[in-house]
Each structure stands twice: as C-alpha cells, then as structure tokens.
Structure 1
Amino acid sequence: MNHDDLPLWRLNLLRAFYLLVTLGLALSFGPLMLQHSDLWAQRKGETAALLSGLAILCLWGLRYPLQMLPLLIFELVWKTIWLLAIALPLWLGGAMTPAVEETAFACLLGIVLTPLVLPWRHIAQHYFAKPAQRWR
C-alpha cells in the first residue's frame, strides 16, 4: 500500500491531528519557553524543549502525513509510558496532584484519540512487514 492507496479523508484526518498536536503543545509549552524561572528550567526545561521540538516537527506532518507517522507513534508511546510509570503509581498511592491529574487527562485523551487516527494497516505494512534496510 502506498500513499495513493489511502483515501484523501484519511490523509486529511492525519493532517488535522498533526495540527491538533502542534497547537496543543504550542499553547501549553510555547509561553513557558519564553517566560520561566531558573528552577523551572532545571526541572521542566527538557520536557518543554522536547515537546516544543515535537510540535515544530508535527508541522511537517501537514505536508507529509505518512512520512511523519513516527511522530504520532512516539506520541502514543511516550504518553502510554508516562501514564503507566508515573501517573498510575501516584494514583494507586493516593498521591495525585492537580498538575499530575491535568497531565494524566491530556495523556489519556492522546492515547484514546491517536490509535483512532493512525492508519494501522499502512503502519503494519511499512514498519513491520516490509524488509529491513541492509546493515552493511
């Protein structure tokens, strides 16, 4: 299956999702990247920089929705890991804070929506069934 095999509505759905990710991350982290304290930079700077970079790269998904699929797969994977490794233990221990709850909701929303948008047959054919590139 090549990109011509996916219907245009599917490509446009991917484009809309890239835009949603970009806008969501830009609104969440853009202002923080411009106005922050040294303490914030030490504790949250890496996360904000990483997710701001992801937002910028998602803009390429508007032009190349299939070639940038690894970004959406990354979104799904990191949010799942965060929910299982960070939020779940805090929730089970009764130690959830409002900030963690807010992040958990955003991540949960992402792991519900992302699988609905991803073209799984295309991913299976191009990332799992396709022969690997040569090593030498």
Structure 2
Amino acid sequence: MEDIGKVKLYLLRAMYIFIFVGLGLSNTPEAISEMGVSTDSYTVINAMLMGFMLMSLLGAFYPLKMLPILMFELLWKILWLALFALPMYLNAGLDEYAIGVAFACIIGVVLTPIVLPWRYIINTYFN
C-alpha cells in the first residue's frame, strides 16, 4: 500500500478498531435503547456516532482510504478540548460528564497523531 510501512498500517487498523469497539461499548447501547422513543439532539448525536463507528470498521479494512475519519477524529477532539473543556476548566471547573469526555478526547489527541501517516496525508491531500 503506497509508501506506508506495515507497522504503520497495523497501527492505523488498531486505531480504527479501538474507535469501533469504544463507540460500540459506550454509545451503541444507549442509541439502541432510544430508538423510536424520542427525537432530540442526543438521538442525532447517537446516530452520527453510530455512523462514525461503522466508518471506523471500514477503516480497519481500508486504512488509507478512510484516513479522513481519523483526521476528523483528531480535529473535533482538539476543538472540543480547546473551545469547550478548557474554558470550562478555567472558570467553574469540569463537571463529571465533561471529565469523562475530556479523558476520551485526550486519549484521542495523544494516540491519533502517533498513528497517522503524516507524510502520506500531506502528499495526498495537500499537494
């Protein structure tokens, strides 16, 4: 697969599977239990996360074609931490929900840049 090493491809696949399993365990049960019960912003978010979860599963099979999924993952987590969690932390402090989300976001912000093939991304998307 292009000029990407085997180790990097395995790391990418592992990241996609990590996202798939994480979302499957944390969001899917809630989303399934709410099917047909209500329609609010939480159901929209749950449906989007289920779609993201399924796209991550595809990434395990097509790691380079699905790189925009991981790039989106990194971007939204950086934005949430910088624009929402940090100001909340500096003002009133984080509540229990925000602490959980911040923890998950920090894991993503640390791991995702490690597994992303930056040279390939730059050559493919920015040249």
Superposition TM-score, scaled by structure 1 size: 0.86
Aligned pairs for 1:113-124 within 5 A:
113-124=111-122
Give the AA of the match of 1:89: P
Output the CA distance in 2 between the equivalents of 1:57 and 1:16.
14
Q: In the TM superposition, what is the alpha-carbon distance from 1:43 to its structure 2 partner?
A: 4.0
Paired position in structure 2 for 1:97 = 95
Q: Percent identity?
A: 42
Paired position in structure 2 for 1:63 = 61
Select between 88-97 and 112-121 the one with higher mean Cα deviation. 88-97
Q: In the TM superposition, what is the alpha-carbon distance from 1:109 to its structure 2 partner?
A: 0.9
Paired position in structure 1 for 2:9 = 11
Select between 120-129 and 90-99 the one with higher mean Cα deviation. 90-99
Aligned Cα root-mean-square deviation (Å): 1.3
Paired position in structure 1 for 2:83 = 85
Residues 66-104 of structure 1: CA distance to partner in whole angstroms, max 9, x if unpaired? 010000000001111111111111111124110110001
Q: In the TM superposition, what is the alpha-carbon distance from 1:4 to its structure 2 partner?
A: 3.1
Residues 1-29 of structure 1: CA distance to partner in whole angstroms, max 9, x if unpaired? xx232111211111111000111011111
Give the AA of the match of 1:101: I
Give the AA of the match of 2:102: A
Q: Find out whether 1:20 has 2:18 as its counterpart.
A: yes
Paired position in structure 1 for 2:106 = 108
Output the CA distance in 2 between the equivalents of 1:20 and 1:53.
15
Output the CA distance in 2 between the equivalents of 1:13 and 1:43.
33
For structure 1, the residue ranges without an aligned partner over 5 or more in a row are 130-136
Paired position in structure 2 for 1:53 = 51
Residues 15-64 of structure 1: CA distance to partner in whole angstroms, max 9, x if unpaired? 111000111011111101111363xx524222211111101011111111
Paired position in structure 1 for 2:42 = 44
Give the AA of the match of 1:77: L
